[in-house]
Amino acid sequence: MSFDLAARLAARRAEHLYRQRPLLDSPQGPQVVVDGQPLLAFCNNDYLGLANHPQVIEAWRAGASRWGVGGGASHLVVGHATPHHELEEALADLTGRPRALLFTTGYMANLGAVTALVGQGDTVLEDRLNHASLLDAGLLSGARFNRYLHNDAVSLAKRLEKATGNTLVVTDGVFSMDGDLADLPALAREARAKGAWLMVDDAHGFGPLGANGAGIVEHFGLSQDDVPVLVGTLGKAFGTAGAFVAGSEELIESLIQFARPYIYTTSQPPALACATLKSLELLRTEHWRREHLNGLIRQFRRGAEQLGLDLMDSFTPIQPIMVGDSAKAIRLSQRLRERGVMVTAIRPPTVPAGSARLRVTLTAAHSEAQVQLLLNALEACFRLEPEHA
């Protein structure tokens, strides 16, 4: 008996679901070189345009000179360096919480937080469209796991009625494939009414949302009592890498004691924390980045609606164009690429069956002229489809 991997791969190809890695041969930015081809990219999550910022690069370089290039050990052994500590304090300040805890990746932050807080005899309730890392965390926790209808506080309330033990309600802040916002006020209200905790993964909200870029909790004016567990990633709007959990003194100390992905992982390079501290400074002082980005979002939505494209309910940098059929989504993505524009086709199982889409992401590094080029390319490519021909 053997694993028939060839058959599994062939089936995925036949279903137009086969994935391949584009090879990037340039820094991140609007203008990239992918597989040897110069392209105008609308598919990365560098929302504030900081991933290739000269001050961030210099902060990393200076950090490497001072602290070396490796974390060297886990945080609890001898891997917790001064830049890590300073970054945690800065993130706590940004989120208005007593403490923050650095994780090496967003996946590990979600896995660590959920599995440290709930286990057998407890309940974890998650939005149906949550990120894979949140769903995996719920399943691996050993708690009773259930999903409520997308962004539906009434559906959540029904499941809360049947919850047992400690109950954790988990949601994305900005849903990564749809771009819509969680209805945090309503979810928080239902959770608090039943004595449950609400955990929000705001990976795509930090930077673009909130008066100071502090994300969806700031956007809605909520408190730590409303959202006790707040997760953010640093590889998107911050332009670097890693993640954090922010919350109470007791929460962070509990994660240090019980979150296995934190305890048993080598710390990120201290120089990376130095770079993120500079990103955080730029995020807090250069408000024009969010203002310019919001202008591009309005420009894109206005232009796409005039073209009759099927947009989703999003005012975030994530602007999906619904296509439906996976083969059609791949075809449109390829046609765009032939015109020098890179937009990724997102297909099942990342999104539900029948909801393949082009996932456009906008950044503060894009210009109005580049957004217009994207709209022109979209018009030309959609016109070639049979229903428009």
Which residues are catalytically annotated? 176, 204, 236
- Is 176 annotated as contributing to ligand binding? yes
- CA pair distance 383, 373, nearest whole angstrom: 16
Please report the DSSP string for 269-282 in residue order: PHHHHHHHHHHHHH
Would the CA dihedral through 364, 303, 31, 23 be positive or negative?
Answer: positive
Flag whether 267 is marked binding.
Answer: no
- Per-residue CA distances from 113 to 27, 88, 123, 165, 198 (Å): 32, 16, 14, 17, 12
347 annotated as a binding-site residue: no
Sequence length of the chain is 389
Report residue 209: phi and psi, to 5°: -105, 155
Ligand-binding annotation for 350, yes or no, is: yes
**Is 123 marked as a binding-site residue?**
no
Q: Is 131 annotated as a binding residue?
A: yes
Tokens of 223: 């408190």
Rounding to the nearest 10 degrees, give the CA dihedral for residues 180, 183, 188, 190.
-130
Quote the Cα angle for 118-120-125, to 5°. Answer: 50
Q: Known binder of ligand: residue 13?
A: no
The reply to whether 150 sits in an annotated binding site is: no
d(CA 100, CA 251): 9
Which is nearest to 207 in space by CA: 233, 177, 176?
A: 233
Task: Report in angstroms the alpha-carbon separations of 100 from 74, 103, 203, 242, 252.
Answer: 17, 10, 15, 13, 7
Binding-site annotation: residue ranges:
19, 106-107, 131, 176, 204, 233, 350
Residues flagged as binding site for pyridoxal 5'-phosphate: 106-107, 176, 204, 233
Annotated binding site for substrate: 19, 131, 350
